[in-house]
Structures are given as structure tokens and as C-alpha cells.
């Protein structure tokens, strides 16, 4: 009996030791992982007001004093529902925290190879709407239009279908913003963020990208396009896009950042998008790319020719 107890105790001790060591190893693995990316810097023109730690602490002290001195009826409610009153700080804005989805890494690596080769005059940066400038056929084919209007320039297309502001930030911070010096950058990004970010958050993300472009390419002119219209005239996302564009228009300085909203080029008189322009209400067709090219050819040429 004593031997049995001794055996059980020993086995339990080994189990405890194993759990402890496993936990220690796990902790070491976690600590060895790359730290979470820090939020990117944001221009004042699109910055969301956020309370300072001191302001948050002042609010918490005031709330605590209110609770302490509340009348009995109020205290009863507060005791019954303890979370009914609390000081909440704004959540982190994911649109400004660099992060690239795993499925976009291969395309990112391809862009890095292009960047390493250098000799780029015009950089196209964005999501699928930019990416599909390279398509030679299919419903969203922009290559023939690109060649016709801008074929005289050495162009790098760093659009990635499905990408977001945080993805572009990651890519610029991890190689796509080095190795070359473009004369101009045409940026259009943000529509994919509308599924999970507010207009103000998306504007911060776009502003952060503009800052990063200026940091990476100090000699380049940035043609910042407003987010293109999508869906029907009464689609709620249209209001979100209008708010985004109203905010990012404040980034225009007429010096190195040039804001341009060409959304009307894709709309009919009823503010709808003809199927011949965007068959899915989001991605330009060849006709849609031609409307885009016509709208930006003059200002883009002017920026490309700027000293």
C-alpha cells in the first residue's frame, strides 16, 4: 500500500513538473515571437480625437466619486447592473496597424522582386481595383487601357486584390517602399475596409499610408484618389465612402499630395453605376478603366513632369 501511494505521488509530481515545463516552454515561445506591430503614424488632418491617459484617469475618478455619492435608488441600480456605468476608451484602429493577410504574401514577394529591380517611374498602389489594371482579358480587364494611356512610363503595379489599408502599410514597411524612386504614386485604397472599420478609421489608415509614401519616396508626387463609388445609389456604403473622401480630401496640400475624386466618372445621371462600367458594382470593366484613365491622364501627366 505504501508503495502504491508512493508510486501515485511520484507520477503526480512528474505530471505537475511536465505541466510546469510545458507552460514555461510555451511562455518562452510566445515571448520569442515577433511583437505585435505598432499603429502607424497618422496625419493631424485625419486624426481621430482620443483621450489622453490623464483624461481617462480623471474621468474614472469622477465616475467613482459619482458612484460613491449616489442616492440609494441609484446605488441599488448600480449594484444590480455593475457594468451599466463605466469609462470606455476608444478601441484600437485596426486600419492603421500594419498587417498583411497570409494569402497575400506570395503577391507581396512578387512585388518585392519588382522593387529590387528598381527603374520605376510610376507606382500604382492599392487593392483589386488597382491590381486589375494588369488583366488582359475577362470582365475586369485594364491592361489595354493602361498601355494605351500610360504605356510610355515605366510602371510598377503593387495592387493586391482584397487588400486593405493595414495590408498596404505592412507592404510599404516590409520592402515595397524601398529600392526605387518613383516620380509619382497613384493611390486608391480603402473600400475593403468598409466591412469592418468606420469611415474615420479608414481615413486614418489612408492618411497613414500617405505619410509612409512620403517617408519612403520623399521626391515623389502622390496622386491620392478618393475611394470609388460602389453598389447602388442608395447603398449605405455610399455614405461611408462620402465620409471617407471628405476626410481624406484634407490631406491635399497642393505640394506633394494631390487629392482627386473621380467618382462621378463612373456614375450615370441617377448616381448609379452602369453595368458596362462596373458589371459587379465594384470593379471597373475595360470601359471603366478607360473612364479612370481619361479622368487622371492630365493631372497624372502634370505630376510625372513636375521638377
Q: Per this entry, what is the length of the chain?
A: 307
Report the alpha-carbon distance of residue 16 to residue 27 in Å, rounded: 16
Burial classification of residue 260, based on how many CB atoms lie within 10 Å of its CB (0-12 exposed, 13-18 middle, 19 or more buried): middle
What is the per-residue pLDDT for 35? 57
Supply the angle between the helices 143-150 and 286-304 in degrees, to the nearest 10.
Answer: 30
Residue numbers in the chain where pLDDT is lower than 50: 1-34
Q: Please tell me the pTM assigned to this model.
A: 0.84
The domains found in the chain, sorted by start residue, are 95-304 (3.40.50.1110)
- Determine whether 287 is exposed, middle or buried from the number of CB atoms within 10 Å of its CB (0-12, 13-18, 19+): middle
Task: List CB contacts of 18: < 8 A, sequence separation 6 or more.
Answer: none
Cβ-contact 285, 279 below 8 angstroms: yes
Look up residue 284 and give its three cell numbers: 471597373
> What's the pLDDT at 155?
98
**Residue 20: per-residue pLDDT:** 33
Calpha distance 299→276 (Å, rounded) = 25
Give the residue carrying C-alpha cell 475595360. 286
How many CA atoms lie within 13 Å of 50's alpha carbon, on the beta-carbon side?
15
Give percent of the chain with pLDDT exceeding 70.
Answer: 88
Residue 82 has a pLDDT of 87
Amino acid at each position: 500500500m505504501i508503495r502504491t501511494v508512493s508510486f501515485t505521488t511520484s507520477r503526480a509530481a512528474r505530471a505537475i513538473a511536465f505541466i510546469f515545463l510545458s507552460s514555461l516552454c510555451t511562455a518562452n515561445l510566445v515571448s520569442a515571437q515577433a511583437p505585435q506591430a505598432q499603429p502607424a503614424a497618422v496625419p493631424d488632418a485625419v486624426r481621430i480625437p482620443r483621450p489622453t491617459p490623464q483624461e481617462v484617469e480623471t474621468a474614472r475618478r469622477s465616475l467613482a466619486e459619482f458612484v460613491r455619492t449616489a442616492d440609494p435608488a441609484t446605488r441599488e441600480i448600480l449594484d444590480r447592473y455593475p457594468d451599466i456605468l463605466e469609462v470606455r476608451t476608444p478601441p484600437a484602429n485596426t486600419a492603421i496597424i500594419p498587417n498583411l493577410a497570409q494569402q497575400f504574401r506570395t503577391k507581396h514577394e512578387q512585388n518585392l522582386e519588382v522593387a529590387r529591380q528598381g527603374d520605376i517611374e510610376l507606382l500604382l498602389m492599392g487593392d483589386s481595383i488597382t491590381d486589375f489594371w494588369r488583366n488582359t482579358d475577362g470582365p475586369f480587364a485594364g491592361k489595354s487601357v493602361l498601355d494605351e494611356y500610360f504605356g510610355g512610363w515605366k510602371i510598377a503595379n503593387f495592387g493586391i486584390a482584397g487588400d486593405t489599408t493595414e495590408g498596404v502599410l505592412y507592404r510599404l514597411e516590409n520592402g515595397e517602399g524601398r529600392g526605387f524612386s518613383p516620380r509619382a504614386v497613384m493611390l486608391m485604397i480603402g473600400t475593403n475596409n468598409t466591412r469592418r472599420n468606420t469611415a474615420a478609421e479608414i481615413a486614418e489608415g489612408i492618411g497613414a499610408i500617405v505619410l509612409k509614401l512620403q517617408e519612403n519616396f520623399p521626391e515623389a508626387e502622390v496622386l491620392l484618389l478618393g475611394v470609388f463609388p460602389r453598389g447602388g445609389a442608395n447603398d449605405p456604403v455610399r455614405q461611408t465612402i462620402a465620409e471617407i473622401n471628405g476626410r481624406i480630401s484634407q490631406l491635399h496640400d497642393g505640394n506633394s499630395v494631390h487629392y482627386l475624386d473621380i467618382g462621378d466618372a463612373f456614375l450615370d445621371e441617377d448616381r448609379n453605376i452602369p453595368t458596362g462600367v462596373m458589371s459587379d458594382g465594384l470593379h471597373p470593366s475595360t470601359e471603366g478603366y478607360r473612364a479612370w484613365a481619361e479622368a487622371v491622364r492630365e493631372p497624372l501627366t502634370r505630376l510625372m513632369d513636375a521638377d
